[in-house]
Structure 1
Amino acid sequence: MALAWNPSKKHSDRERWICIYPVYLNSKRTLAEGRKLPKDKCVENPTHQEIRDVLVAAGFNVGVENKLHPRERSKELLYRGRIRVQLKNDDGTPVKSEFPTRDLVLAYIGTTIPKLKTRQGKQSSGEQSSQPSSSSTKKGKGKGRR
């Protein structure tokens, strides 16, 4: 059961850090399924490792938890993982002045994940594999159902 807000908790306590699930940034999900950003700012099937790598590179304090988003239908390990990020210092000032809100952090993650080396390698190999398959599907369209 969730605990009520406690004013004695500091911003540096892990319970006060913001939560980011991969589904928040997944372009294949709808808003009703948990996506938080517009599709043009999202990424196709992000993982918690990619989110963690981007945030660590930006200089945030990050924690990874083995949790699953409540609206996630699949229980696979690919969709598992919750990232905790410290957004504010104990005095209430942002840890990073360019990212004072959760929405700006999510937008930054969405624009940075496609620039990762692991993503760029997948993208070029995906384009090569899709080209031969499209030409082979055109050949089989001569006969239809009878």
Structure 2
Amino acid sequence: MEAGLPNIKRWIVVYPVYINSKKTLAEGRRIGVSQACENPTCIEIGDCCGYLKLPFVIEIDKAYPRDFMQRGRVRVLLKKEDGSLINPDINSRKQLMIKVGELVPKHPGRTKKQEASTSSTAAATKSNKGGKKKK
């Protein structure tokens, strides 16, 4: 390793499955359903880590070991070399997952998608009210 680069191998790993409310504990969820969020992505988790002022690296090519179809993971640095916390509010992996679970639903990309999908579903329900036409 070069002197300037941090050793990311020692950073903690967060897979999106860990905070996915759609998954069960047996499938890999690590926090309660009430604290988790629906189908988080690596980019959203990374953005949340950036918002929390934590250094992170997104590894898109890595897969979740229990389900290799789940692509991507995020490595996050919680503590500096001397052992002091980077963000004093987050002192454990579990606290990080709970905080990210809260922040992902408020993610800017997610709020725009929800607004677009609710307006398009409303338009679709209005157009389908005609029913079948008689021959």
Give the equivalent residue in structure 2 for 1:43: 37
Q: Which residue of 63, 69, 88 maps to 2:64?
A: 69
Tell me whether 1:88 sits opposite 2:79 in the alignment: yes
Give the equivalent residue in structure 1 for 2:104: 113
Distance 2:44 2:31 in 1: 17
Counterpart residue identity of residue 127, structure 1? T
Distance 1:136 1:32 in 2: 40
Give the equivalent residue in structure 2 for 1:15: 9
Counterpart residue identity of residue 67, structure 1? K
After superposition, give the CA deviation of every residue in 1:80-133 in whole Å (9 maximum; x if it has no partner): 111100111112121111101011111111101111111111122233344444
Counterpart residue identity of residue 107, structure 2? L
Counterpart residue identity of residue 41, structure 1? Q
Give the CA deviation at 1:135. Answer: 9.5
Aligned-residue Cα RMSD (Å) equals: 2.2
Unaligned 5+ runs, structure 2? 1-5
Superposition TM-score, scaled by structure 1 size: 0.75
Superposition TM-score, scaled by structure 2 size: 0.80
Greater fraction of residues in strand: 2
Structure 1 pair 90–114 and aligned structure 2 pair: CA distance change class (3 A)? same
Structure 1 pair 38–134 and aligned structure 2 pair: CA distance change class (3 A)? farther
Q: How many residues align?
A: 124
Counterpart residue identity of residue 22, structure 1? P
Distance 1:41 1:26 in 2: 9
Structure 1 pair 130–58 and aligned structure 2 pair: CA distance change class (3 A)? same
Counterpart residue identity of residue 67, structure 2? E
Distance 2:35 2:9 in 1: 28
